Structure 1
């Protein structure tokens, strides 16, 4: 008996070490959480800045909780809360002018679900008319909101129950977007959480108090056993649940990760979903509540895992897994046929009887192989897998690339919002952003550091464009804003400043900035990131991975190069060769645009490195430094030919073609334009350049 206990304790410690090696440790869990909480903050600040979407997004699930691994390859769950709606439980919560709905639970609703009754916007009374096809009158004369409101609304996604799955989008994990409507108060059925405390005094009083403040949501899906599946809305306490998960210790998190690995390897083979990870999470929470907190330690991990599996077996056997917060909601109601239930019970029992051997066969993240090495069952080096340092570098590289990609997308949204706006509107936007930095929390301040340089640079460039248009000079105020935004990344904001100086004829200062930017570019392992269109994230070097693994997120501005974007309001700061890009589309071309994502085609957008060498070429030509001019042109050509990560190669070819025209090499220029058309056949100004070139040649003859 003693030997068995010692073996289990040793196995627990070895399991903990293996999970530590594959990234399930406190450092990585916290970094994952910060990554997604910052991303959440960034996007919600964007929504507040641009005043377009009256909504809030929440990043939920395994990725944001830090309860996943590389091998589990979890999706990102995004809850999209629309503030146009107001869901109430009490008439005192009714708000004038909003789309108010009253939660109804009666003998016709499944526990954990509700109907939504439409109320009037002007007075707190039930509506008596059907406003559209998304509503229906029930037998009692109530106007109820149907949960089918989402069907077919969003293009490019796959509907899975209440969620919209977006797959295959480069630069981002596959994601499930769930539309939710907000209720300010925690649902009455969840009030039991506030009064109870488990054996281990968990959840704590602070956790329960916070849970009460988060309110709840309703999600458009009915129960599988519902009589009215199109009318039911599921009550979601997802923010309270996130609070609980964020307060788990590392052994509890490792136990949850192991449960998901067992689920994927043995209980849900070939992506068949029998038992969901949410059920496993719920089982874990019940186990934590019903045990002494002292057992959840590294040397008890194997025992804790066994306890959770026994509880899961009991849930399947009794066809009941109570939602942790809303107890009457049975997550397993209508989930399994008798045949499937028998199969699952057999699989769980088989694992429990052969748990040690089964763990050794888990392929996810090489867990089984790693465990065999830790237990001295095979010699060290018998299996090849990523070391803990490599796992850390892989995750951090993925995180920083992802964060840079999101940064690029947010920059595009800012520019889309600022185009066709006056200076007062732009200043108001900047003022709101500064407010987040002054009055916000640490995440708000971190988000400010990500967004502000782009906004400052664009505002400075717009001011410069206005002043250049009036008197061919850059106002001191414009230069202040341009200087304030120089640290957006390693190149794009500096190149904008250089372009402004070039446009006013200040060639010496512009050349100095370009020379410094080029030196910086080759001092770090830089990658080019562009969110203008969907493409794979760039391949990175070992040196780039090393920097990501060792440095904080602040290093992103030193190892990332964004494309340079000019909106129409900045046109006087753009070299005339690049201005053509703002007029790339004929009316026929516009038919071949995706209006949701191709709005950038009315701007001048160019990759940083080609633009740097193009500006160098133009400046050296103006300064009559012919050898430097020739060298800059050679670098521009080499970059276009060899840099596989260019996102706007057609634009680079177009400006190269114009350089060739200025070099009196019309055949080379024509070749550049034709190559550009091969890159992008539609919405490409190369066709205009070809017409101009041929027209000029004919006129000269």
Structure 2
């Protein structure tokens, strides 16, 4: 084997360790796909995370298909149904954009048009058209979605404040549109395969609410989106091709974008389009691990060519040049200079990147130790499950169960379904069911219903599910059962446990965790997660599972608690009601140690966990009648609460009055 091939193989194995192996990518993709299946509304997870990548700057984009509004190419295609039909009109619109005209026909009387949709219609010479601008504003101002999404408009999406989670509410056309039909029979080598093309055209297209920048009709135009098709295409990439795509993303996000005047000039969508064209024009056989450096350099050279000549055709509708008027002369020359320098350096260009800076400085053995491999596997997988858990909805249980029974064809899919069913089950009791009912029979039914779901839920991780169960027993005044569960949870909270909140700080596993991962090398994924992982412990708004003493802390948003602190605080509460003062004081001392761990004495400062631990501490003093110490504790917590997000200030006020 040549020196170049050896270098490529070494680099390929290094990339599998840093970016993800084929197995890691498969698990990430399948986990998000299963998560989408569980939703009542039709959701499509895209972005880097949905594609199976998790590198610096990786985002998660979610597209929600509107359940009642549907797009048709002509009136003849409209069929009767519950949907409200819009006819696409691309006259006077650039390629890849269209206006959506409300069908005005006697057979389609729009009695179901909501006030919100009515407010998005705009009168034009085409009749009533759906304004993309008003459509986004309508959903931004509604209460339909989680507050974490509804912060700002980001392109066609409603985004969070950091623009890391994007939600695009889109409309679907079930047919493959006329403008993209030449793509079906376009001359190409072997990719994409005919069966993939057939699958793609059967998915139709989407329309996302954003117009062509600078167009006179920008506010009423919608962009034609091929996101579903593009996701299928990326899922068909070989691992070498996917890694080359990831390398282009790293070049963009970690090298090019560090230049302030070039930031956001290029985007991941351009790189995706570039990859599609390259793969369509090249022999699939060339994309092998032993050629990865050569393949990446060809991709970088093609990007340089596209920038130099300001041309990058849309993959499905080539009449749309994505680089048209994209660069001014000065910016273009600077970008060309940077890309030329990077190309000249070869893979040494990654020395200045965050993700791959250590390639030359470390000797990566092709046979990585089993301990290191298992550790890396968990480090790369757990962030995916953390992301999915952040978007848990309690109405997903039945749909997940249905798809588990009808769609899980592999052992891996069954494992991932089981994990997500456990996660969702843990949240089911947090939705009140007939809270005002006083019938004993109904209350008993709710009790059993909640208990069953919590028992299923504590299989989702090592500790958090158990603490929800302990809190359930506490609010039902079964203090003995609660203490039993707390004791069991604390016994499991040992040094090898992995608190996933730490992944935001990108720390490495400690030697004990690595050793245990090695001992579990033959265990299945779900066993490792439910044995070792501890996910952030959160109560939903007005959760019936939260102790009465903490109601003030879950009045505005769901609140996170440090699991160990919550266990010690709940232990205190149970002991307090059982008049066991000695145990109360022991729990108080443990809470002080927890606070030290979470603040300056420990390794990482977490909010709101550290603040909530201090509030636990103050509540303990208050219940024990030590008002002065409680007041001082709440005062210190309020001082540290920069955004007034906790209950510290209100608790201090109540003690001061």
TM-score, normalised by the number of residues in structure 2: 0.76
Choose from 181, 184, 208 the match for 1:191. 181
* 1:118 shift after superposition: 1.7
The reply to whether residue 27 of structure 1 matches residue 9 of structure 2 is no
The reply to whether residue 635 of structure 1 matches residue 607 of structure 2 is no
Q: Give the structure 2 partner of residue 519 of structure 1.
A: 491
Are the equivalent residues in 2 in contact too, given 1:525–1:544 (CA < 8 A)?
no
Q: Give the structure 2 partner of residue 590 of structure 1.
A: none
C-alpha separation in 2, matches of 1:244 and 1:539:
34
SS at match of 1:195: coil
C-alpha separation in 1, matches of 2:59 and 2:493:
34
Choose from 435, 442, 453 the match for 2:402. 435
Choose from 131, 150, 161 the match for 1:146. 131
* 1:323 shift after superposition: 2.0
Call closer, same or farther: CA 1:451–1:302 in 2, change over 3 Å: closer
Q: Give the structure 2 partner of residue 52 of structure 1.
A: none
Q: Give the structure 2 partner of residue 684 of structure 1.
A: 647
SS at match of 1:487: coil
C-alpha separation in 2, matches of 1:544 and 1:121:
70
Q: Which residues of 2 match residues 256-271 of structure 1 at below 5 A?
A: 256-263=245-252, 270=259
C-alpha separation in 1, matches of 2:305 and 2:82:
49
* 1:518 shift after superposition: 1.4
Are the equivalent residues in 2 in contact too, given 1:393–1:548 (CA < 8 A)?
yes
C-alpha separation in 1, matches of 2:571 and 2:22:
48
Q: Give the structure 1 partner of residue 226 of structure 2.
A: 237
> Which structure 2 segments of 5+ residues have no match?
142-149, 600-605
Q: Give the structure 2 partner of residue 88 of structure 1.
A: 72
* 1:207 shift after superposition: 0.8
Q: Give the structure 1 partner of residue 156 of structure 2.
A: 162
The reply to whether residue 109 of structure 1 matches residue 93 of structure 2 is yes
The reply to whether residue 647 of structure 1 matches residue 608 of structure 2 is yes
TM-superposition CA deviations, 1:344-400 (whole Å, max 9, x none): 566666666x354x74564224757625877xxxxx99xxxx999879857843652
C-alpha separation in 2, matches of 1:9 and 1:81:
46
Q: Which residues of 2 match residues 215-234 of structure 1 at below 5 A?
A: 215-224=204-213, 226=215, 228-234=217-223
C-alpha separation in 2, matches of 1:344 and 1:630:
64
Q: Which residues of 2 match residues 333-482 of structure 1 at below 5 A?
A: 333-337=324-328, 354=344, 356=346, 359-360=348-349, 362-365=351-354, 367=356, 370-371=359-360, 393=375, 396-397=378-379, 399-401=381-383, 403-404=385-386, 406-407=388-389, 410=392, 414=394, 431=398, 434-441=401-408, 442=413, 445-446=417-418, 448-455=420-427, 457-458=429-430, 479-482=451-454
Q: Give the structure 1 partner of residue 239 of structure 2.
A: 250
The reply to whether residue 308 of structure 1 matches residue 299 of structure 2 is yes
C-alpha separation in 1, matches of 2:223 and 2:443:
62
Call closer, same or farther: CA 1:556–1:349 in 2, change over 3 Å: closer
Q: Which residues of 2 match residues 462-611 of structure 1 at below 5 A?
A: 479-501=451-473, 507-522=479-494, 524-527=496-499, 542=510, 546=514, 552=525, 555-558=528-531, 559-560=533-534, 562-563=536-537, 565=539, 570=544, 578-582=547-551, 598-600=556-558, 607-611=562-566
Q: Which residues of 2 match residues 163-178 of structure 1 at below 5 A?
A: 163-168=157-162, 174-178=164-168
Q: Does 61-70 or 258-267 show the bigger shift?
A: 258-267
C-alpha separation in 2, matches of 1:474 and 1:306:
62
C-alpha separation in 2, matches of 1:569 and 1:340:
53
* 1:184 shift after superposition: 1.5
Are the equivalent residues in 2 in contact too, given 1:88–1:101 (CA < 8 A)?
yes
TM-superposition CA deviations, 1:480-521 (whole Å, max 9, x none): 454344334434443444455456665544433222121112
Q: Give the structure 2 partner of residue 286 of structure 1.
A: 277
Are the equivalent residues in 1 in contact too, given 2:401–2:421 (CA < 8 A)?
no
* 1:672 shift after superposition: 4.1
> Which structure 1 segments of 5+ residues have no match?
49-54, 375-379, 418-428, 586-592, 696-701
SS at match of 2:192: coil
C-alpha separation in 1, matches of 2:21 and 2:651:
57
Are the equivalent residues in 2 in contact too, given 1:23–1:391 (CA < 8 A)?
no
Call closer, same or farther: CA 1:501–1:123 in 2, change over 3 Å: same
TM-superposition CA deviations, 1:520-548 (whole Å, max 9, x none): 12364253869xxxx97797752587478
Call closer, same or farther: CA 1:398–1:463 in 2, change over 3 Å: farther
Call closer, same or farther: CA 1:285–1:518 in 2, change over 3 Å: same
Are the equivalent residues in 2 in contact too, given 1:211–1:243 (CA < 8 A)?
yes
SS at match of 2:184: helix
Call closer, same or farther: CA 1:461–1:270 in 2, change over 3 Å: same
Call closer, same or farther: CA 1:389–1:281 in 2, change over 3 Å: farther
Call closer, same or farther: CA 1:403–1:561 in 2, change over 3 Å: closer
Call closer, same or farther: CA 1:493–1:367 in 2, change over 3 Å: closer
C-alpha separation in 1, matches of 2:211 and 2:23:
39
Call closer, same or farther: CA 1:392–1:321 in 2, change over 3 Å: farther
* 1:103 shift after superposition: 0.9
C-alpha separation in 1, matches of 2:59 and 2:427:
31
Are the equivalent residues in 2 in contact too, given 1:23–1:392 (CA < 8 A)?
no
C-alpha separation in 2, matches of 1:167 and 1:11:
42
Are the equivalent residues in 1 in contact too, given 2:635–2:648 (CA < 8 A)?
no
C-alpha separation in 1, matches of 2:312 and 2:53:
21
Are the equivalent residues in 1 in contact too, given 2:433–2:446 (CA < 8 A)?
no
**Which structure's CA Rg is the greater one?**
1
TM-superposition CA deviations, 1:123-144 (whole Å, max 9, x none): 34899x99867544444x4333
Call closer, same or farther: CA 1:616–1:24 in 2, change over 3 Å: closer
Are the equivalent residues in 2 in contact too, given 1:317–1:341 (CA < 8 A)?
yes
Q: Give the structure 1 partner of residue 50 of structure 2.
A: 64
How many residues align? The count is 621
